[in-house]
Structure 1
Amino acid sequence: MIIGVLNQKGGVGKTTIAINLAATYAKSGLRVLLVDADPQGSALQWSAARDAEPLFPVIGMAKPSLHRDLPDIAKDYQVVIIDGAPRVNELGRAAILASDLVLIPVQPSPYDIWAAADTVSLIQEAQQFKPDLKCAFVINRKIANTAIGRDVGDALAQFEHVPVLNATLHQRVIYAESAGQGLAVIEAEPNSEAAREIAALSKALTSTNEKKAA
Structure 2
Amino acid sequence: MIVALLNQKGGVGKTTLALHLADQWARQGKRITLIDADPQGSALDWSEQRARRCFDRLFGVIGLARDTLHREAPELARHSDHVVIDGPPRVAASLRSALLAADLALIPALPSPFDGWASAEMLALIAEARVFRPALRARFVLNRCPARTVIARETAESLAEHDPPALAARIGQRIIFAEAAQTGQLVFERDDGSLATREIATLASEIERLAP
TM-score above 0.5: yes
How many Å separate the matches in 1 of 2:139 and 2:116?
13
- Asked whether the 8 Å contact 2:73–2:83 carries over to 1, the reply is no
Give SS of 1:97's match: helix
Equivalent in the alignment of 1:196 = 198
Instruction: Report the count of equivalent residues.
Output: 209
Task: Confirm or deny: 8 A CA contact 1:127 1:133 kept in the other structure.
Answer: yes
1:121 to 2:124 alignment: yes
Inter-partner Cα distance in structure 1 for 2:128 and 2:198? 34
Write the distance in 1 (CA, Å) between the matches of 2:67 and 2:128. Answer: 16
> What one-letter code is carried by the residue in structure 2 that aligns with 1:177?
E
Deviation of the 1:157 alpha carbon:
4.3
- Separation (CA, whole Å) in 2 of partners of 1:92 and 1:155: 26
- Among 165, 173, 176, the alignment partner of 1:174 is 176
- Does 1:91 find its partner at 2:85? no
- Structure 2 counterpart of 1:60, which letter? G
- Residue number in structure 1 paired with 2:45: 45
Give, in angstroms, the shift of residue 73 of structure 1.
2.1
SS for the counterpart of 1:49 is helix
Of the structure 1 ranges 19-28 and 46-55, higher mean CA displacement relative to structure 2 is found in 46-55
Match status 1:142 vs 2:142: no
The SS at the match of 1:80 is: strand
Look up the equivalent residue of 2:8 and give its one-letter code: Q
Deviation at 1:180, TM superposition (A): 1.0
Q: Distance in 1 between matches of 2:125 and 2:190?
A: 35
- Is residue 33–residue 76 contact of structure 2 (8 Å, CA) maintained in 1? no
Q: Which residue of structure 2 lines up, in the alignment, with residue 24 of structure 1?
A: 24
- Please tell me the residue identity of whatever aligns with 2:181: A
Which deviates more, 65-74 or 118-127? 65-74
- 2:34 aligned with 1:54, yes or no? no
Of stretches 139-148 and 33-42 in structure 1, the one that deviates more from structure 2 is 139-148
Distance 1:150 1:17 in 2: 20
| Inter-partner Cα distance in structure 2 for 1:173 and 1:144 | 13
Q: Supply the AA of the counterpart residue of 2:21.
A: L
Deviations along 1:7-37, one digit per CA (max 9) or x if unpaired, are 1111100000000000000001000000000
Shift of 1:163: 1.9
Would you say the 8 A contact 1:107–1:139 is kept in 2? Answer: yes
Residue 72 of structure 1 is matched in structure 2 by: 75
Name structure 2 gaps, 5 residues minimum.
Answer: none
Worse overlay, 134-143 or 183-192: 183-192
Match of 1:13 in 2: 13
Identity %: 49
- Give the match for residue 3 of structure 1: 3
Checking the alignment, whether the CA contact within 8 Å between 1:32 and 1:57 is kept in structure 2 is yes
Note the residue ranges of structure 1 that are not aligned, 5 or more in a row.
Answer: none
Q: Aligned partners of 1:132 and 1:170: how far apart in 2? A: 30
Contact 2:5 2:87 in 1 (8 A): yes
What are the Cα deviations for residues 135-182 of structure 1, in whole angstroms up to 9, with x where unaligned? 1111000011222111111332463x3121110000000011111111
Give 2:167's aligned residue: 165
8 A Cα contact 1:49 1:180, kept in partner = no
